[in-house]
């Protein structure tokens, strides 16, 4: 389906033409007409499928038809990170170029001047507010912000927001909204908390499901089975012996990101780091430098696995295997965009083998194993992958017999706090 076949106005079509948006992606083709009909939406779509346009375009169309009160927030978009808020803000600037639409992006990590500007913008009202839950909730609690006229609520990457620990924040924000509204929820995965949230906030939703396990055909995937102490040496070998373009290395914590960043910088690479400890201005400038090729390599936590839109990333390295198989898809999906080719490399230690099994189950195929370079292989005993399965089964049987599972595991709240802290 082409965009000019949709029931949207000429101003939007002119903006899409300038932005070279011609043909709808599957999520756009299925979701946009349903939103225009006034339906609540529960959509399954991974990053890179065009889901942002799938909700912004119909909301802009509906707002353009009039009937919404002036000087009030009419649409609220909640996103998990400031990077994604900035990305939505930039896309909205393009889509609404010919429309008389106002909006404000609200996120933390900036100074008191920015907080005051966001406060004034919300109090004066605007058609669309794009916000991270934490900063918006702070404004709602301490300022005179009226969200009682919101007609559209969009929850973008709901699973990511709940994984970070925003469930209670989201529910508190929703308490400020009118019950009569149209709600759109987009999530790559549907764990228990997402299903619970959907039951609470959606009314008879139309479901749109786009496969999350499908990666771009241009991605070459490989896995290296190794010990933790071999990882840094393998990274160095990869860059020492091969010509590499622009890439991202994902690590599990900000501490690992910092250590890896310093090690790669000492080797002479044009590298930068991104994690939650950095100020917003620094993170924004780093992403801009990366996009403009001033930086070759970005070392990051999952804070950017769904929050950047850069087409010329040639490779992704999973220094640590992601905890959820869907996050593997999001990480690797940063490369081979817009029909290009790319490479995804994953380091797997013995304790990470169960995570790899889940990833391969999701992908419905085995990922090619890479052979460790001779100098890297010398650093630790060789691993026989076939024995890892046997050992893992023994371990599970032992813990099940001892009744350990569940009793001493961290609570969900502890996990949420850990995720916030580490990224």
Tens-place pLDDT, residues 146-159: 999 999 999 999 98
Residue with the larger pLDDT of the pair 69 and 415: 69
Q: Is residue 87 a contact partner of residue 52, using CB atoms and an 8 Å limit?
A: yes
How confident is residue 418, by pLDDT bands cut at 50, 70 and 90?
low
Tell the residue number behind the tokens 């190794």, with chain if given.
226
User: Which of the residue ranges 3-7, 205-209, 326-330, 377-381 would you say has the lowest mean pLDDT?
Assistant: 326-330
Report the C-alpha gap between 171 and 178 in whole angstroms.
13
CA distances from 396 to 50, 355, 393 (A): 40, 14, 5
Return the number of other C-beta atoms located less than 10 Å from residue 222's C-beta. Answer: 13
Q: Where are the domains of the chain?
A: 3-209, 219-388
DSSP E strand boundaries for 126-187 = 128-131, 152-155, 182-187
Tens-place pLDDT, residues 330-339: 888 888 776 6
Residue with the larger pLDDT of the pair 112 and 314: 314
pLDDT at 398: 45
Fold observed for domain 219-388:
Rossmann fold (3.40.50)
Report the C-alpha gap between 255 and 251 in whole angstroms.
9
How confident is residue 327, by pLDDT bands cut at 50, 70 and 90?
confident
Tell the residue number behind the tokens 């370079």, with chain if given.
373
How confident is residue 50, by pLDDT bands cut at 50, 70 and 90?
confident
Report the C-alpha gap between 127 and 130 in whole angstroms.
10
pLDDT at 32: 97
Tell the residue number behind the tokens 């996103």, with chain if given.
79
CA distances from 137 to 214, 253, 346, 385 (A): 36, 26, 37, 48
Predicted TM-score (pTM) of the model is 0.69
Same fold, 3-209 and 219-388: yes
pLDDT for residue 38 is more than 70: yes
pLDDT at 213: 55
**Largest separation between any pair of C-alpha atoms in the chain:** 70
Tens-place pLDDT, residues 113-134: 888 888 888 888 889 999 999 9
Q: Is residue 322 a contact partner of residue 248, using CB atoms and an 8 Å limit?
A: no
Tens-place pLDDT, residues 217-270: 789 999 999 999 999 999 998 877 667 789 999 998 889 999 999 999 998 889
pLDDT at 245: 84
pLDDT at 47: 66
CATH architecture of 3-209: 3-Layer(aba) Sandwich (3.40)
Tens-place pLDDT, residues 370-410: 999 999 999 999 998 887 754 555 555 544 455 544 444 45
Q: Is residue 34 a contact partner of residue 206, using CB atoms and an 8 Å limit?
A: yes
Can you tell me the mean pLDDT for 174-200? 92
Residue with the larger pLDDT of the pair 65 and 396: 65
Calculate the average pLDDT of the chain.
86
Phi and psi for 44 in degrees, rounded to 5? Answer: -110, 115
Query: Terminal CA-to-CA distance of the chain, rounded, Å?
Result: 39
Q: Is residue 230 a contact partner of residue 379, using CB atoms and an 8 Å limit?
A: yes
pLDDT for residue 8 is more than 70: yes
Q: Is residue 76 a contact partner of residue 90, using CB atoms and an 8 Å limit?
A: no
Tens-place pLDDT, residues 70-100: 889 999 999 998 889 999 999 999 999 999 9
Tens-place pLDDT, residues 286-311: 988 998 999 999 999 877 666 566 77
């Amino acid at each position: 389906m082409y965009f000019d076949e949709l029931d949207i106005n000429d101003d939007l079509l002119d903006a899409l033409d300038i932005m070279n948006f011609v043909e709808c992606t599957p999520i756009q083709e299925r979701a946009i007409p349903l939103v225009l009909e006034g339906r609540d939406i529960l959509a399954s779509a991974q990053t890179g499928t065009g889901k942002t346009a799938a909700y912004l375009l119909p909301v802009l169309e509906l707002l353009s038809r009039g009937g919404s009160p002036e000087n009030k927030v009419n649409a609220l978009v909640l996103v998990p990170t400031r990077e994604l808020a900035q990305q939505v803000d930039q896309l909205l600037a393009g889509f609404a170029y010919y429309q008389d639409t106002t909006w404000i992006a609200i996120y933390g990590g900036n100074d008191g001047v920015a907080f005051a500007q966001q406060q004034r913008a919300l109090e004066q009202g605007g058609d669309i507010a794009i916000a991270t839950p934490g900063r918006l909730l702070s404004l709602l609690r301490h300022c005179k912000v009226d969200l009682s006229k919101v007609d559209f609520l969009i929850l973008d990457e709901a699973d990511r927001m709940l994984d970070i620990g925003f469930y209670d924040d989201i529910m508190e924000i929703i308490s400020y909204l009118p019950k009569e509204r149209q709600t759109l929820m987009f999530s790559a995965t549907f764990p228990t908390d997402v299903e619970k949230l959907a039951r609470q906030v959606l009314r008879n939703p139309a479901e749109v499901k786009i496969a999350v396990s499908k990666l771009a055909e241009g991605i070459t995937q490989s896995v290296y089975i190794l010990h933790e102490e071999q990882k840094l040496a393998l990274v160095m070998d990869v860059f020492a012996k091969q010509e590499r373009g622009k890439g991202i290395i994902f690590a599990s914590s900000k501490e690992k990101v910092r250590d890896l960043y310093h090690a790669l910088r000492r080797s002479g690479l044009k590298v930068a780091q991104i994690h939650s400890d950095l100020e917003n201005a620094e993170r924004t400038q780093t992403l801009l430098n990366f996009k403009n090729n001033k930086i070759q390599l970005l070392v990051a936590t999952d804070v950017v696995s769904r929050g950047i839109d850069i087409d010329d990333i040639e490779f992704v390295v999973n220094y640590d295997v992601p905890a959820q198989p869907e996050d593997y898809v999001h990480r690797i999906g940063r490369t081979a965009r817009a029909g290009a080719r790319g490479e995804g490399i994953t380091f797997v230690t013995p304790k990470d083998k169960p995570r790899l099994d889940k990833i391969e189950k999701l992908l419905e195929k085995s990922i090619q194993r890479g052979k460790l370079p001779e100098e890297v292989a010398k650093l630790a005993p060789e691993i026989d992958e076939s024995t890892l399965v046997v050992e893992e089964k023994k371990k599970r049987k032992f813990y099940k017999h001892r009744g350990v599972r569940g009793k001493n595991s961290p609570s969900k709240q502890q996990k949420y706090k850990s995720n916030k802290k580490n990224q």
